[in-house]
Amino acid sequence: MQHITKRRSHAAYYLGASLSALALAAVAGTAIAQDTPPAESQVVVVTGIRGSLQKAMNVKKNAVGVVDAISSEDIGKFPDSNLAAAVQRIPGVTISRTSTGKASQVTIRGFGPSFNETLLDGRQASAGNGNRSFDFSGVGADFVGEVDVLKTPDASLSSGAIGATINIKYP
């Protein structure tokens, strides 16, 4: 009889110890959670096609002269191999292709590539071929944030563009 009572007391002891440990773990977890500051939530804004159109409209609205713009959202819609192929979607812009069919140079409103000025983030891009025509075949369309084609002269830019000024903006 005494043996059964001893077993019950050991079982009660183990049960009490495990419940105490469980209660302490729950209380300790709550205390740690109360000490940490709440995490700040991040805001995610999805603009889609309307954001792209609004951005292009704002460029045209805030410009002094005739400006057409294409943003990265518009560029990403088409599988263009380089930036010249993407820029040809702007009205008044045509491209010249190499012998392999790759788009390389831009003609705007009938003025050839040597009459246009190309800017990279507002700085004049060097041609590297002896004249002013810029070779777009090395500029990937995926890495560009926005392209502005200024078809009229602007006092804030250099006076080197007779045809147009192409400003390539990176993100």
The reported pLDDT for the residue numbered 90 is: 86
What six digits make up the tokens of 126?
Answer: 């060097």
Q: The domain 48-169: what is its CATH number?
A: 2.170.130.10
Is the pLDDT assigned to residue 36 strictly greater than 80? no
The reported pLDDT for the residue numbered 24 is: 64
Query: What residues contact residue 137 under an 8 Å CB cut-off, 6+ apart?
Result: 82, 84, 98, 102, 103, 104
The reported pLDDT for the residue numbered 133 is: 81
Can you tell me the mean pLDDT for 23-33? 58
Is the pLDDT assigned to residue 39 strictly greater than 80? no
Strand order across the 123-124 sheet: 67-71, 146-150, 165-169, 117-120, 123-124
What six digits make up the tokens of 19?
Answer: 């419940």
Taking the C-alpha atoms of residue 92 and residue 83, their distance in angstroms, rounded to an integer, is 16
The reported pLDDT for the residue numbered 61 is: 82
Can you tell me the mean pLDDT for 91-112? 87
What pLDDT band is residue 34 in, cutting at 50, 70 and 90?
low
Can you tell me the mean pLDDT for 104-124? 87
